[in-house]
Amino acid sequence: MTFVRRTAALLLTASALTGCGTELVSDGGAASPAPSASGQGVEQGGDANPHYAENHAFQSTLDLSEADRVRGEAEVKRVKRGLAALAEGQKSTEDSVFHALHALGYPDGSVTTGTFGPHRTSFTVTLGTLCVDGSLDGVVNGLVNAEAHGRYMEGTGCVKPRGGH
């Protein structure tokens, strides 16, 4: 029984010595919650995931020059028009998107395609410092998404880096 009593006493002492650290004692003796590290908690409208930007910094892209930004907008329109028929027919596959982008004049080695789920075909077109990413949704008739951005800072070119810190 001595072992059990010693263990119980040790556990009680340890729990008494460790506090949750969420209360501060003021001069008046009243306890108040400790301020959060960011100065705002979720209750006050703060960020529910305060490290999201930090954890996803590896996916940052280089800024586009004004000329590349204008060119990017034109390429996005071109791609959307060129893939509209595939999207409307809900018949997009990696192969059909690949060939449609080549038919628009994008050179060999500049187009990559992939799938996301059973109904979405994704694509990336690499045009020097300009990247055009997008997808065709095989469920929503006629939906082509595309956006232009700079190359990824991680050194993966136009291919979105995976992983993180």
* Domain total of the chain: 1
Q: Would you say residue 76 lies in a domain? A: yes
Please say whether the beta carbons of 84 and 144 come within 8 A.
Answer: yes
Any domain includes 159? no
Whether residue 45 lies inside any domain: the answer is no
**Buried (b) or exposed (e) across 18-37, using 16+ Cβ within 10 A?**
eeeeeeeeeeeeeeeeeeee
Instruction: Tell me how many degrees the CA angle 61-65-68 measures, rounded to the nearest 5.
Output: 90
Residues 60-83: tens digit of each pLDDT: 777 889 999 999 999 999 999 999
Residue 35 belongs to a domain: no
Using one digit for the tens of pLDDT, what is the confidence trace for 81-139? 999 888 877 778 899 999 999 999 998 899 999 988 777 899 999 999 999 999 998 77
pTM, two decimal places: 0.63
Q: Which domain holds residue 93?
A: 64-150
Residue 92 lies in a domain: yes
Residue 164 lies in a domain: no
Look at residue 119 and tell me if it is in a domain: yes
